[in-house]
């Protein structure tokens, strides 16, 4: 920029009565909550208020021997700085000021150019913005922290506006859909190909409810990847609130539950196979927990007591056997729970619900959890009454 002469500046600026200005700026110096300076156009300080002494650590007479160039950060090119002030008639800046002890104070400045006694002078106000800068720093640190949480969350996250336009999406969501952020951000959620004919009306309905009722909710549906692979997902939604309690943005959290659902379906199928297998086995099969309560029994076991299998769940042998027989069974079960030693083919005489005595070959083994702790027992009892009668007859004949 070409530096203009003082004469040219004088021609551009309106003239101000010096006595009036003198009284006004002195009053302003005393009242304004900022470091205030009156300087020549070259920056030489002509007047300074008490706040400037407090802020920069100088005595008043020391400040009058300095220029703005001594106080404002030396990173500023003073010649260009003056040219810009001359061209605009003033300038707002944000920079650092140098204190007497060499420390730096972040300041926001407002510099105005006018004439006094036919000479160009500058009126400069410098506000200490340390608290604001510290708050901005804390905000940036907080944003960085939460940005990290956003990016590395194990669930996919959408940030939407009230029209459903996607403002942001995290890395997990992109991985889940096999899309890039450029494929997602800026698009409208309801026009995206990853929504299926099943999921689109559900998400539209839930989003409209969120807009109108301002209630958070969750639901399950399906979406598809770029390769058309269907994913079972659980979607949770909520909204962000501005300081004035108005809704800002909407958040959708998408959790891939495909593996969980597949595992659950597998568990259900295995349970059905086990139940089918147990019910066709003529032997009594049962599972007990660590307190000797029946956790699962097959049809044969329940038939011995003329009850449905479900009626035995949560009960013990004391609910079905005579007390002395139940106590023997209870003692055997406790020994297995304590030692882990199984019982194999033990002959037991049981009195059934009709009062008939029957013989059973009983096998019981401990049941373990994934960490190797005993959590109950599995028992199989085979009715060997007829076999026992034949054995007794053979024994009688031999004797």
The percent of residues above 90 in pLDDT, for the chain, comes to: 43
Q: In the listed set 256, 278, 300, which residue is the last one of a domain according to the structure?
A: 256
Task: Quote the pLDDT of residue 5.
Answer: 45
Whole-angstrom distance, CA of residue 366 vs CA of residue 380: 12
| 202 Cβ neighbours under 8 A, 6+ residues apart | 219, 221
Chain segment 347-398, per-residue pLDDT in tens: 888 876 677 788 889 999 999 988 899 999 999 999 898 888 887 777 766 6
Nearest alpha carbon to residue 83 among 106, 125, 39, 113: 113
Q: Where does the pLDDT of residue 10 fall: very low under 50, low under 70, confident under 90, or very high at 90 and above?
A: very low
Residues 251, 280 share a domain: no
* Residue 143 placed within a domain: no
Specify whether 344 is located in the same domain as 244: no
How is residue 242 annotated by DSSP? Answer: -
Same domain, 99 and 218: no
pLDDT digits (tens, 9 = 90+) for 216-239: 678 899 999 999 999 999 988 887
pTM over 0.75, yes/no: no
**Is 147 or 246 the better-scoring residue by pLDDT?**
147
Please tell me whether residues 188 and 293 are part of one structural domain: no
State the pLDDT at residue 239: 76
* Residues 13 and 91 both lie in one domain: yes
76 or 270, higher pLDDT: 270
In a domain, 146, yes or no: no
Q: Is the pLDDT of residue 122 over 50?
A: yes
pLDDT at 241: 63
One-character DSSP codes across 333-367: HHHHHHH---EEEEEEEEE-TTS-EEEEEEEEEEE
Interval 30-48: pLDDT, tens: 688 899 999 999 999 999 9
Domain contains 14: yes
Phi, psi dihedral angles at 114 (to 5 degrees): -150, -175
Asked if residue 248 and residue 272 are part of one domain, the reply reads no
Q: Which domain holds residue 121?
A: 6-133
In a domain, 147, yes or no: no
pLDDT band for position 213 (cuts 50, 70, 90): confident
User: How many structural domains compose the chain?
Assistant: 3
**What is the pLDDT of the chain when averaged over all its residues?**
85
Instruction: Please identify, among 133, 166, 195, the residue that sits at the C-terminal boundary of a domain.
Output: 133
Give a yes or no: residue 397 inside a domain: no
In this predicted model, what pLDDT tens digit does every residue of 135-186 receive, in sequence order?
Answer: 888 878 877 887 888 888 899 999 988 888 999 999 999 999 999 999 999 9
73 and 181 in a single domain? The answer is no
Q: Is the residue at 349 inside a domain?
A: yes
Residues 252 and 271 placed together within one structural domain of the fold: no
Q: Are residues 162 and 239 in the same domain?
A: yes
In a domain, 63, yes or no: yes
Give the pLDDT confidence score for residue 349 in this predicted structure.
Answer: 84
Mean pLDDT calculated for residue range 95-112: 91
Domain boundary among 232, 256, 280: 256
Instruction: Look at residue 17 and tell me whether its pLDDT is greater than 90.
Output: no
- Tens digits of residue pLDDT in 285-335: 999 999 999 999 999 999 888 899 999 999 999 999 889 889 999 999 999
In terms of domains, do 273 and 349 share one?
A: yes
CB 57, CB 101: distance < 8 Å: yes
CATH of the domain at 297: 3.30.450.20
């Amino acid at each position: 920029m070409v530096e203009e002469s003082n004469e040219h500046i004088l021609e551009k600026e309106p003239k101000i009565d010096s006595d009036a200005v003198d009284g006004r700026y002195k009053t302003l110096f005393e009242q304004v909550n900022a470091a205030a300076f009156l300087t020549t156009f070259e920056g030489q300080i002509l007047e300074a208020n008490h706040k400037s002494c407090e802020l920069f650590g100088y005595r008043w007479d020391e400040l009058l021997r300095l220029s703005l160039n001594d106080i404002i950060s030396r990173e500023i090119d003073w010649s260009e700085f003056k040219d810009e002030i001359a061209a605009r008639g003033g300038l707002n800046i944000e920079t650092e000021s140098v204190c007497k002890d060499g420390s730096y104070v972040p300041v926001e400045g407002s510099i105005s150019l006018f004439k006094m006694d036919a000479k160009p002078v500058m009126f400069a106000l410098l506000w200490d913005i340390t608290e604001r800068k510290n708050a901005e720093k804390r905000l940036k640190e907080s944003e960085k922290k939460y940005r990290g949480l956003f990016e590395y969350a194990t669930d996919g996250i959408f940030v939407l506006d009230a029209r459903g336009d996607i403002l942001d999406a995290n890395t997990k969501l992109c991985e889940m859909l096999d899309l890039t952020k450029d494929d997602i951000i800026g698009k409208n959620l309801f026009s995206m190909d990853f929504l299926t004919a099943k999921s689109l009306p559900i998400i539209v309905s839930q989003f409209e409810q969120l807009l109108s009722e301002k209630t958070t909710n969750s639901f399950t549906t399906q979406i598809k990847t770029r390769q058309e692979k269907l994913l079972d997902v659980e979607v949770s939604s909520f909204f962000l609130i501005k300081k004035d309690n108005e809704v800002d943005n909407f958040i959708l959290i998408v959790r891939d539950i495909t593996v969980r659902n597949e595992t659950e379906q597998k568990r259900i199928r295995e349970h059905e196979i086990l139940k089918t297998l147990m019910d066709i086995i003529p032997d009594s099969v049962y599972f007990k927990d660590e307190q000797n309560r029946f956790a699962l029994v097959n049809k044969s076991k329940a038939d011995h007591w003329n009850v449905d299998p479900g009626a035995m769940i949560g009960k013990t042998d004391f609910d079905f056997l005579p007390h002395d027989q139940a106590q023997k069974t209870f003692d055997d079960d406790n020994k297995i729970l304590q030692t882990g030693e199984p019982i194999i083919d033990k002959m037991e005489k049981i009195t059934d619900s009709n009062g008939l005595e029957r013989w059973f070959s009983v096998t019981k083994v401990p049941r373990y959890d994934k960490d190797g702790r005993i959590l109950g027992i599995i028992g199989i009892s085979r009715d060997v009454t007829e076999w026992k009668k034949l054995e007794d007859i053979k024994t009688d004949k031999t004797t």
